[in-house]
């Protein structure tokens, strides 16, 4: 059986000679896994890079064996951002987050489409806002989102356990129990990009990932995510 699709490469590993094992978040068939024969050869290695979008065929000969994958480049390309370490780290962090949370055949078309939207936003000065939106969308698609319409200057504390928003005045003695964390209200409502708002964003994302998504998993939040976080917080003045 041959399935034709398009997708984002989120993981690659050399398995033998020049062959690759890859994972693709596809548009229509969820997470696809398979072998690319000669995928690490000089002729093909530029195609099968983490962060590239490709058009591909998924060939399944036997349910007990890995599928074979053959593909070609599709826009947008990660090579467009090789000279920008901030955008490159943003892309690789997104791919790594998908890789550690999404399982084979799970379908997340919105994550795929919003990843394209994120690439397209890199032509804008304030593209970090789109990265912030991507992180919150990612949590929501995996079942741990919250209603942004409920966020206002008062309801901007989130209970990490039930993911509901609360009025700060009602939390006066509960803020020290580590169940509540401040949401970056100004980042999402007023599009203010500064150190404090970005740190709040990363804090919320990490709390939810650890509490809900990775609490029973052997996976951890990827190192590349923390490298990107460090880059942004040290250089946030470039994106204000």
- Domains of the chain plus CATH, in order, are 2-75 (2.40.50.140), 79-238 (1.20.1440.120)
**pLDDT tens, 166-190?**
886 665 555 555 688 889 999 998 9
Quickly state the pLDDT bin for 239 (edges 50, 70, 90): low
Give the mean pLDDT of 196-225: 93
- The residue with greater pLDDT, 120 or 218, is 120
- The residue with greater pLDDT, 54 or 2, is 54
Neighbours of 201 (CB within 10 A): 22
**pLDDT tens, 73-109?**
998 889 889 999 999 999 999 999 999 999 887 899 9
Supply the pLDDT for residue 240. Answer: 57
pTM: 0.92
Q: 128 burial class (0-12, 13-18, 19+ CB within 10 angstroms)?
A: buried
Measured CA to CA in angstroms, residue 187 lies from 31, 131, 202, 208, 240 at distances of 31, 11, 12, 18, 11
**pLDDT tens, 193-203?**
999 999 999 99
Q: Evaluate if residue 147 carries a pLDDT over 60.
A: yes
Neighbours of 233 (CB within 10 A): 12
Phi, psi at 202, each rounded to 5°: -65, -40
Supply the pLDDT for residue 89. Answer: 96
Q: Evaluate if residue 151 carries a pLDDT over 90.
A: no
Tell me if residue 121 falls in helix, strand or coil. helix
């Amino acid at each position: 059986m041959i399935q034709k699709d398009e997708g984002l490469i989120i993981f690659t590993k050399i398995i033998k000679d020049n062959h690759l094992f890859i994972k693709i978040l596809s548009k229509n068939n969820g997470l696809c896994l398979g072998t690319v024969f000669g995928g690490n050869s000089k002729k093909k290695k530029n195609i099968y890079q983490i962060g590239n979008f490709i058009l591909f065929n998924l060939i399944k000969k036997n349910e007990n064996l890995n599928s074979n994958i053959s593909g070609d480049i599709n826009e947008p390309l990660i090579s467009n951002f090789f000279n920008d370490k901030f955008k490159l780290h943003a892309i690789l962090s997104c791919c790594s987050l998908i890789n550690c949370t999404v399982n084979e055949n799970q379908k997340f078309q919105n994550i795929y489409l919003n990843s394209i939207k994120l690439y397209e936003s890199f032509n804008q000065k304030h593209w970090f806002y789109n990265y912030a939106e991507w992180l919150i969308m990612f949590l929501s698609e995996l079942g741990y989102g919250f209603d942004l319409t409920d966020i206002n200057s008062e309801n901007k504390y989130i209970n990490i356990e039930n993911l509901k928003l609360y009025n700060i005045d009602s939390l006066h003695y509960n803020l020290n129990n580590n169940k509540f964390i401040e949401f970056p209200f100004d980042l999402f409502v007023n599009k203010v990009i500064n150190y404090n708002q970005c740190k709040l964003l990363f804090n919320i994302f990490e709390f939810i990932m650890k509490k809900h998504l990775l609490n029973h998993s052997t996976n951890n939040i990827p190192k590349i995510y923390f490298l990107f976080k460090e880059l942004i917080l040290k250089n946030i003045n470039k994106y204000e």
